[in-house]
Amino acid sequence: MPRNRLSPAIALVVTTTVAGALAAAAPAIAAPPPAADPQVLAAMTRDLGVAEPGARLAAERVAAKTDRVLRATLGSRLGGSWFDGETLVVGVTDTRAAATARALGAEPKLVARSETALVAAKNRLDAGAAAAPSSVPGWHTDPVTNTVVVKYAPGTQAEARAWVAASGVGAGPVRFVETTERARPTIDVVGGNRYWTSKYGCSVGFAVQGGFITAGHCGKVGETTTQPGGRFEGSSFPVDDMAFVRTDAGNTLVPAVTNGSTRVAVTGAQEAPVGSSICRSGGTTGWHCGTITSRNATVDYGSQIGKVYEALETTACAEPGDSGGSAISGSQAQGVTSGTSGDCKGGPSTTYAQPIAEILRTYNLTLLTSGGGPGDPPTGCGTAATGTVSTGGTSVQPPAGSFQAAAGAHKACLTGPAGTDFDLYLQRSSGGQWTTVASGTGPTSTETVTYNGTAGTYRWQIRSYSGSGQYRLEVTKP
């Protein structure tokens, strides 16, 4: 179902350099990222024309981490964000937020609309989706142009404009784009794919505890699969396009994405900003890469099928049989392939994917990641405390809500269940508000944060980016 993601009203835009992003993330100590698979690098060079794909992926990791820190720090005062190939661009909503962004190495610039306004406009269009003319194949938020893009078939702009007006959306935030595309689900009734139902060949998305995730249009609840054997335990299509297949005993679940004879390790599910590279793998076409153009797209698969909301929109190509396959940025899972308006034989192609976070949350699943579980916390972190946190939720330590600390060094070590992604924030009370002063936002639930600060009132906040369960936090205060 459609859901509101972000907030506020006037917006500034912040252009964060890679150096600034590193400064923002500096308080957290993280293990070095795994080396990119050569097949991924080759696909990025082939499909994106990137001369140094390894450097591009490194810059995207920094951008994703900086984006995450800024969002957690600024909360509702943060606007949209995208990666422009070299730097991260993010939005803030007031001068105080701009000052905070500057302190994290960012440079603010003014734009006309907040992300909240764009999301609200798109939600109005989603509410009127049933009345959308067949000549409108979809619409999505576009932070780069600070608009909501409405696509229309050649010669039908007047119909599109009339529908937008009838939906109660003013012309201001909407940009109309002519297109010849018409998306279709990427199932194949004949091709040799990674797994089969009684009707279709589709592709495995990602391994989770108990089975794998894939596209909802590949099968209904209760249908069985072969190669690997299993049964659809959850499925949703249209509106969403997601499913969970519980596999039979004897199947080995591997936290990786296949690329012919090689495998690319999956290390987490950290959300990549708009503009980041994304590669998808499917049983028909193998590896193909593109960029993320929107994280909030509505796609119309036609009157006989229906619409899917809040999909990822990408420029990676796909073909029938790739449905349900992996969409991954670097080693971070992003979603499962839903449908496409093109093919991989040349020419433009728009491919859509169901975001992974909603799949894990809806079916209460844990993504399997390479490197196993959280392991033992680093030694010497101090007094231990435990707690629980659910997907999208937060927990505060100490239970009293805060602690007093003298000037000096703070240190904390967090561990959580395997396959989850918990983040750790040290916050200081100032003027009645909590401000994040240090953070650990890696792609797993093992985080270490150190910080040298002044005397004051502090608290530790544990936030679940994905997954639920018990955590252990060891802390030392000055």
| 83 and 120 housed in the same domain | no
Residue 341 lies in a domain: yes
| 410 and 316 housed in the same domain | no
| 358 and 407 housed in the same domain | no
- Candidates 440, 377, 437, 382; CA nearest to 407 is 437
Residue located via tokens 């990137």: 50
Residue 367 lies in a domain: no
| 6 and 153 housed in the same domain | no
Q: What are phi and psi of 71, to 5 degrees?
A: -65, -40
| 120 and 106 housed in the same domain | no
Residue 310 predicted with pLDDT over 70? yes
What average pLDDT does range 427-449 have in this prediction? 84
Can you give the CATH number for the domain in which 451 is found? 2.60.120.380
Name the band, by pLDDT with cuts 50, 70 and 90, for residue 336: very high
**CA atoms of 433 and 94, how far apart (whole Å):** 16
Residue located via tokens 């992926």: 57
Catalytic residue among 140, 217, 288, 410: 217
Instruction: Tell which of 331, 362, 393 closes a domain.
Output: 362
What average pLDDT does range 58-63 have in this prediction? 88
Residue 13: strand, helix, or coil: strand
Residue 380 predicted with pLDDT over 80? no
Where residue 346 falls (left for φ over 0; alpha for ψ -120 to 50; beta otherwise) is: left
| 124 and 13 housed in the same domain | no
Name the band, by pLDDT with cuts 50, 70 and 90, for residue 391: confident
| 211 and 265 housed in the same domain | yes
What average pLDDT does range 9-29 have in this prediction? 34
**CA atoms of 77 and 369, how far apart (whole Å):** 33
Q: What are phi and psi of 199, to 5 degrees?
A: -120, -35
| 80 and 152 housed in the same domain | no
Catalytic status, residue 323: yes
| 99 and 122 housed in the same domain | no
For the chain, what is the largest distance between any 2 Cα atoms, rounded to a whole number of angstroms?
69
Structure confidence at residue 14 (pLDDT):
36
Residue 274 lies in a domain: yes
What average pLDDT does range 153-157 have in this prediction? 94
Strand runs labelled E in 286-443 = 286-300, 307-314, 326-329, 332-340, 351-355, 383-389, 394-397, 403-405, 408-415, 421-430, 433-440
pLDDT averaged over the chain?
Answer: 83
Structure tokens at 36: 């990119």
Element (H, E) at 62: helix 53-74
Greater confidence (105 vs 397) lies with: 397
Structure confidence at residue 30 (pLDDT):
41
Residue 351 predicted with pLDDT over 90? yes
Name the band, by pLDDT with cuts 50, 70 and 90, for residue 377: very low
| 196 and 329 housed in the same domain | yes
Element (H, E) at 265: strand 262-265
Structure confidence at residue 429 (pLDDT):
92
Structure confidence at residue 260 (pLDDT):
66
Instruction: Tell which of 340, 362, 384 closes a domain.
Output: 362
**CA atoms of 316 and 288, how far apart (whole Å):** 6
Name the band, by pLDDT with cuts 50, 70 and 90, for residue 379: low
Distances (CA, A) of 357 to 189, 224, 238, 301, 390: 29, 24, 17, 22, 13
Residue 245: strand, helix, or coil: strand
Can you give the CATH number for the domain in which 246 is found? 2.40.10.10
Residue 368 lies in a domain: no
Span 118-145, pLDDT tens digits? 899 999 999 999 999 999 999 999 988 8
Catalytic status, residue 217: yes
| 148 and 91 housed in the same domain | no
Structure confidence at residue 34 (pLDDT):
58
Structure confidence at residue 441 (pLDDT):
80
What proportion of the chain, given as a percentage, has pLDDT over 90? 45
Span 246-286, pLDDT tens digits? 988 877 788 888 876 677 888 888 899 999 999 999 989 98
- The answer to whether the beta carbons of residues 234 and 363 sit under 8 Å apart is yes
Structure confidence at residue 261 (pLDDT):
62
Catalytic residue among 135, 281, 323, 395: 323
**CA atoms of 106 and 98, how far apart (whole Å):** 8
Greater confidence (53 vs 435) lies with: 53
Structure confidence at residue 371 (pLDDT):
55
| 439 and 427 housed in the same domain | yes
Span 192-221, pLDDT tens digits? 247 989 888 899 999 888 889 999 999 999
Q: Best-predicted range by mean pLDDT among 88-92, 123-127, 443-447?
A: 123-127
Q: What are phi and psi of 233, to 5 degrees?
A: -95, -20
Residue 233 predicted with pLDDT over 80? yes
Residue type, 334: Q
Residue 55 lies in a domain: yes
Instruction: Tell which of 52, 81, 111 closes a domain.
Output: 111
The mean-pLDDT minimum among 80-94, 180-194, 389-403 falls in: 180-194
Domain count along the chain: 4
- The answer to whether the beta carbons of residues 193 and 201 sit under 8 Å apart is yes
Which neighbouring-strand residues pair with 26?
none
Residue 43 lies in a domain: yes
Catalytic status, residue 329: no
Give the structural domain span for 462: 373-478
Residue 20 predicted with pLDDT over 80? no
**CA atoms of 451 and 437, how far apart (whole Å):** 8
Catalytic residue among 241, 300, 421, 423: 241
- The answer to whether the beta carbons of residues 131 and 47 sit under 8 Å apart is no
Residue 143 lies in a domain: yes
